[in-house]
Amino acid sequence: MHLFSAIRDLIERNQIDAALQSMRTLLDNSPLLQEAIHQSARWKDIQSQIRRGAVGHEDANVTKNQIRDGLLGLQEIEEQEQQPAIPGGNREDGCDVSDCGEDL
């Protein structure tokens, strides 16, 4: 299974610790690594607050959902960046914007 799909699957199954580890592996040489580390720290912090009873159930769920959303967003950005460029440019007619002879 591709790492992107595996991360989404881990998040879906609420295995956030494993998803965070996979995300850090995926982003090892990416500028997005710091954001993944930040999400990991937020996750550890909210887990600690839950254990200590320092945060209510509703607030904890909001934070956990924000972290999940952040992970999915990072994964999506990285997946888009790793997709190969479309030959012939980005236009549907295959014409590269730089040499179509049109003023855009």
CA pair distance 13, 26, nearest whole angstrom = 19
Q: Could you tell me if residue 44 is inside a domain?
A: yes
Domain containing residue 49: 3-84
Total domains, the chain: 1
pTM of the model: 0.76
Dihedral of the alpha carbons of 51, 53, 59, 65, in degrees to the nearest 10: 10
pLDDT value at position 84?
76
Of 2-16, 22-36, 60-74, 81-95, the range with the lowest mean pLDDT is 81-95
Phi, psi values for residue 84, rounded to 5°: -65, 150
**39 lies in some domain:** yes
pLDDT of res. 101: 55
Tell me, yes or no, whether 103 lies in a domain.
no
pLDDT in tens, 40-85: 999 999 999 999 999 999 999 999 999 999 999 999 999 898 887 6
Asked whether the predicted pLDDT for residue 90 surpasses 70, the reply is: no
Is residue 20 exposed (0-12), middle (13-18) or buried (19+ Cβ within 10 Å)? buried
Higher pLDDT, 24 or 85: 24
**Structural domain contains residue 104:** no
Across all residues in the chain, what is the average pLDDT?
87
